[in-house]
Structure 1
């Protein structure tokens, strides 16, 4: 993945934002934007863009940043109606490209730093995906800064006057950049959480501690908790419990298996504790649940 790293201060600034609707068969224009970054986020449909020979398929939930002074163009028409938002922005500072983001290393405050900000970096992935849970927030922010509407159905380009102050526009723009900056971290979190889910699914009979997971995935325990909670809404150990109970539900359909045996086979050494957790999760005891899914057949 390519990252665009902005050396700050100064911060990147918003030029203009807009919304576009392309019809099936429409294609993005061929152009070079001088002194302007073009950030595109697709809500529906797909855009097929080429930048300096590299092709990108930007689908719903995905974004692409096209850097200044490079040729970009559509390499094939839209296959369906495509709605997307875009932002033109720039910086008067320096920027660079790298294969990994530049991390901010905080240094201790001292009396010599009262009057000058240390250089820091905003690292934006050029291409990526925004988690679906943030799409509504992103659309609202994009709409708030939009001053241009392009509608291929109506063959019109409409321009709107500013309705808020310039400082508010820049604040909204920086909120949008924050979502794109965080997209890489969320992607990492999802990968770690998914790996832990797979680990638990294959080894649900085993017991795991948070420290063991942290050591296995080389992260701090607090980071492990945050990753799993962000993806599944529960802690790692609660996730393991949920997987065990779901497996127990499957096994309860077999009347030849005892509750004690099922409890042991899904990782519970204490049947009473298993029954307590099962009822807490389902509102029924294991025996009641078994009757509800596999009633005794009458002779």
Structure 2
């Protein structure tokens, strides 16, 4: 699978559709500089990327790298129709067989945390909802006929929906199931960060033993549930310190810290300064 780090999101460039007769072949190309997404509606394409063979039957897709050669390995045995879309990203990407942990994704901005996230697109697979995917491609084709800026904007939105469907139509490898539990635990903590935390309530909500949830979160994020919660609370406090005039003590209460001294200690340990000093840094000038 391919791992993309966002922002920025992959950028749609151009798309089209082709029909090959029986005996037709896909063209051979090398280093075209863009990702090539192929979705076959009928028939079958027989390709190879470098030495890796790809057979793409109807209702399936394949994603070819921008930096490798791909070639036809056999002619089509029947009339074959497919959609194709080219895209590229200014962000980082690489091929991987594992999911990136959230501990490896750091915020880019000290003031307002820009949430970087990783998402994954499989190299190939069977579409769970092929007609829906084809509909997005047809929509992209119709938008290409309009050269207005609003149409170009809509193209990007439609393309992101297509990529999201490809991701949802496929599943992560079974060995990454711990990520699901870690994500559910993290979502629970984010939803309830203002409330007093107990491992018992988390365990009862997630239907997993607290020790197992802790192991999953430690592996996925590098933090225990309590450490993750504390960091999240501090991030919410940073936002309130900048965006509101609430007293620091009130912010400590609103972000779930049980006492003011504890809030100050946690904040200073994570940010490197006191809440008051942090606020004044962005209020001067």
Give TM class, smaller chain.
Answer: 0.5 to 0.7
Q: Which of 104, 120, 123 does residue 120 from structure 2 map onto? A: 123
Matched, 1:5 2:3: yes
Consecutive unaligned residues in structure 2, runs of 5 or more: 175-206, 214-285
Q: Secondary structure of the residue that 1:123 maps to in structure 2?
A: strand
- Is 1:168 the counterpart of 2:168? The answer is no
Check conservation: 1:47, 1:57, Cα contact below 8 A.
yes
Task: Tell me the secondary structure at the aligned position of residue 184 of structure 1.
Answer: coil
* Residues 186 and 65 of structure 1, relative CA distance in 2, 3 Å threshold: same
- Whole-angstrom CA distance in 2 between matches of 1:35 and 1:80: 30
Secondary structure in structure 1 of the residue aligned to 2:91: coil
- Which of 27, 39, 42 is matched with 1:41 structurally? 39
| Cα distance change of structure 1 residues 43 and 143 upon mapping to structure 2, 3 Å threshold | same
Closer, same or farther: CA 147–105 of 1 in aligned 2, 3 Å? farther
Given candidates 137, 144, 148, the residue that maps to 1:142 is: 137
Q: What's the TM-score once normalised by structure 2's chain length? A: 0.55
> Is this contact kept in 2: 1:101–1:124, CA < 8 A?
no
**Match of 1:74?**
72
Match of residue 183 from structure 1: 169
2:246 corresponds in structure 1 to none
Q: Using the TM superposition, give the Cα deviation of residue 114 of structure 1 relative to its aligned residue in structure 2, in angstroms.
A: 5.3
- Offset at 1:106? 12
Shift of 1:147: 6.5
Q: What are the within-5 Å matches in structure 2 for residues 93-132 of structure 1?
A: 93-102=91-100, 115-131=112-128
Shift of 1:33: 3.8
TM-fit CA distance, 1:183: 2.0
Answer yes or no: is the 8 Å Cα contact 1:18–1:147 preserved in 2. Answer: no
**Is the Cα–Cα contact under 8 Å of residues 21 and 84 in structure 1 kept in the other structure?**
yes
Equivalent residue pairs, number: 177
Report the CA distance shift for 1:162/1:129 in structure 2 as closer, same or farther (over 3 A): farther
The CA distance in 2 between the partners of 1:32 and 1:76, in whole Å, is: 18
Q: For structure 1, which segment, 177-186 or 166-175, has the greater mean C-alpha deviation from structure 2 after superposition? A: 177-186
Q: Deviation at 1:115? A: 2.5
Bigger radius of gyration, 1 or 2?
1
Q: How many angstroms does 1:83 deviate by?
A: 0.8
**In structure 2, distance between residues paired with 1:187 and 1:97:** 14
Indicate how the Cα distance of structure 1 residues 187 and 24 shifts in structure 2: closer, same or farther if over 3 A, else same.
farther
CA contact under 8 A between 1:61 and 1:130: conserved in structure 2? yes
Change in 2 beyond 3 A, CA 1:130/1:186: farther
Per-residue CA deviations over 1:38-79 (Å, capped at 9, x if unaligned) read 000111000001001111110011110000120001110000
| 1:49-88 matches, cutoff 5 A | 49-88=47-86
CA distance in 1, matches of 2:153, 2:113: 22
In structure 1, stretches of 5+ residues that fail to align are 149-158, 189-213, 221-299
